Structure 1
């Protein structure tokens, strides 16, 4: 009877508040790092795109629907402009205005932006929906900061490999944010001359990671790349190709776009074209593990077993010290409902990085599914302790409240 009660509790807990995110494929990057060692000639770009013959071979009708223009992507509507104007009017110095804008973006009493990984939206839609990922937040904050007259710099944060999931498929995520500074005023004493970072993730370790400046053109390419990945995930290959090919024209050295094209070509059965895309991406960054893994998968389809295995061994050896890779394996085990393996992988992740809340949430999920509710509760409390934002701390507090309510309802 006791075991039945515990199992029932675990099942209820898992259904009520543990969100399973599961990773299988490795294809999309919000802002994958890239190298720029050589100038890319237009002819090289053209070879990456499909010819009329290749389009006909796969019966792909190129989408002709208009894409968002760069102006569309960064435009603020009247409501957003009024939002900025009110902030500027209520503060005196640009330093104060910068801080006020940053607070207003996330404050519960103001815009209250929520993080949604799939929110690949233009600035005006991001403002209206109050949802953003790091890219759409950067676009909105850039547009607002420009409107307010601040000095702005969009930048890529060169983070380790980190995955999120959409419908059972892995999305490799990079990270971008915005640095804003006051315009120099000769007669003014400037507070915070080093600037303020606008970012969903305020973790101090981000400050220690290297960054790469991104132009407006590069951010536009990332937007098109992400939109293309959205359409790829729902099998709208014509629209996906339209976005990827446009992104490539804006940023021909972006390895994420080239890799995504290779992934699309593999799905379409254009294996030689896919291989060329992957090899081209590796010529830009030979250490890009995701591209190596996708190339290995392509070699599997082509029957090149030894070549595929060689690449996998290389990738595996390099990833073993990455805690987020163990989180990936834990999420894959969750997807397969192999809860013991899931717990094992999240435990390994914690040994490598013991201060990341999502690792403990993964542990809590596995323990709940196995009916180990005491361990699940302890893991959830640790997740709350290591959460870096007030919003996430409140989320875990709410989960713990639900946890206790379910325990009480079962009279355990």
Structure 2
């Protein structure tokens, strides 16, 4: 079957070129990308207003080093007596808009904190937090989540992570620093997706193409561009956008899923089956899918199944302390105290955060006390 469908997996022969992005064709009109359009004026994403400068001066001027400046700035932003910034998942916008409004989601907060921190002379950068994929009990992925925060690096190389709505440790699969242009691209992406939800596909398309001009290497933006073309009935352009996303990241689950949806719309059953099988193979090779099965088994008190699932997950991702720790918990429930002690001790070595290490040490103490009592 794979041999028969090999041709189905190949990308179409023409490719996107950001200098000549295919126009959007909708309601009998053709919309081309015009960088001079009023819709695309520079929003000043990291622009600092006079009020923001005064804020930084007020709360950091007396700080005698970078660490103290960071602590003072963070407290002033989050503290009830100063800015009292509130989390709102729908509060997109620029740094100045988030500051003036007093509310932000993770991305607009990253814009604002980066701008304020740099105004204070701190080395602040956007940071992409990769969130573990989530599955239903049947094994299907729920959603791909995107989370952005800020990393502030001191001269002694100490790094601090600043976040308005921190993820739980068990939600994090990895992290990487982002360029300003990638941060800007995500701003335009959010504008686009909000506009598409409001049934404004032309505005959405313009903003998304602008985002791709900032950071053409973000596969998620190509997937969303494909969604807009699909909305407009431009299936060939949608298909190519999805394939381009896969050229950037051959494990982009969203691109694969969108190809399944597209081929189902077109009645292209062979291609649809190919990508459904590809998604299933990817799922079975993903350690966090097996971890989710382990979590489900733990909830059902099926300790043996949980241990097996965590074993499979930890084998695929041997440096993930949480997977090792979860396997240790399952071993503990199975009564294998020596194995549980070994695994939790190893999880402590692999843990990245002190709070994580402390939690594991508490569990290790419990296991050792049980072991001592049994002697």
TM over 0.5: yes
Residues in 1 aligned to 2:66 and 2:168: alpha-carbon distance in whole angstroms: 24
Secondary structure in 1 matching 2:17? helix
Shift of 1:200: 2.4
2:40 is aligned, of 45, 62, 67, to 67
Matches within 5 A, 1:253-272: 253-272=217-236
Residues in 2 aligned to 1:83 and 1:219: alpha-carbon distance in whole angstroms: 23
Q: Summarize the Cα distance change of 1:303–1:141 in structure 2 as closer, same or farther, 3 Å threshold.
A: same
Residues in 2 aligned to 1:93 and 1:57: alpha-carbon distance in whole angstroms: 59
Q: Summarize the Cα distance change of 1:299–1:208 in structure 2 as closer, same or farther, 3 Å threshold.
A: closer
Residues in 2 aligned to 1:103 and 1:324: alpha-carbon distance in whole angstroms: 40
Contact 1:113 1:130 in 2 (8 A): yes
Residues in 1 aligned to 2:76 and 2:134: alpha-carbon distance in whole angstroms: 28
Q: What residue in structure 2 maps to residue 100 of structure 1?
A: 72
Q: What residue in structure 2 maps to residue 219 of structure 1?
A: 183
1:309 is aligned, of 269, 273, 284, to 273
Secondary structure in 2 matching 1:259? helix
1:281 is aligned, of 227, 235, 245, to 245
Contact 1:161 1:324 in 2 (8 A): no
Q: What residue in structure 1 maps to residue 49 of structure 2?
A: 77
Q: What residue in structure 1 maps to residue 84 of structure 2?
A: 112
Shift of 1:301: 0.8
Contact 1:58 1:268 in 2 (8 A): no
Question: What is the CA RMSD across the aligned residues, in angstroms?
Answer: 3.5
Residues in 2 aligned to 1:297 and 1:325: alpha-carbon distance in whole angstroms: 27
Which stretch shows the higher mean deviation, 316-325 or 225-234? 316-325
How many matched pairs?
279
1:50 is aligned, of 8, 17, 22, to 22
Q: What per-residue deviation string (whole Å, max 9, x for no partner) do you get for residues 378-411 of structure 1?
A: xxxxxxxxxx9xxxxxxxxxxxxxxxxxxxxxxx
Q: Summarize the Cα distance change of 1:202–1:263 in structure 2 as closer, same or farther, 3 Å threshold.
A: closer
Shift of 1:312: 2.4
Q: What residue in structure 2 maps to residue 382 of structure 1?
A: none
Shift of 1:57: 7.2
Residues in 2 aligned to 1:117 and 1:133: alpha-carbon distance in whole angstroms: 5
Secondary structure in 2 matching 1:242? helix
Q: What residue in structure 2 maps to residue 30 of structure 1?
A: none
Q: What per-residue deviation string (whole Å, max 9, x for no partner) do you get for residues 204-235 of structure 1?
A: 72897532221111111111111111101111
Q: Summarize the Cα distance change of 1:203–1:227 in structure 2 as closer, same or farther, 3 Å threshold.
A: closer
Residues in 1 aligned to 2:280 and 2:88: alpha-carbon distance in whole angstroms: 30
Secondary structure in 1 matching 2:202? helix
- Larger RCO, structures 1/2 (Cα 8 Å, 6+ apart): 1
Residues in 1 aligned to 2:290 and 2:40: alpha-carbon distance in whole angstroms: 34
Contact 1:159 1:174 in 2 (8 A): yes
Shift of 1:108: 2.6
Residues in 2 aligned to 1:179 and 1:120: alpha-carbon distance in whole angstroms: 20
Taking structure 2 as the reference length, what is the TM-score of the superposition?
0.65
Secondary structure in 2 matching 1:55? strand
Matches within 5 A, 1:233-244: 233-244=197-208
Taking structure 1 as the reference length, what is the TM-score of the superposition?
0.60
Structure 2 portions without partners, runs of 5+: 1-14, 136-141, 301-305, 311-321, 323-354, 356-375
Is 1:245 aligned to 2:218, yes or no? no
Secondary structure in 2 matching 1:210? strand
Q: Summarize the Cα distance change of 1:314–1:121 in structure 2 as closer, same or farther, 3 Å threshold.
A: same
Q: Summarize the Cα distance change of 1:310–1:325 in structure 2 as closer, same or farther, 3 Å threshold.
A: farther
Shift of 1:95: 1.0
Structure 1 portions without partners, runs of 5+: 1-41, 164-169, 185-189, 328-343, 356-387, 389-412
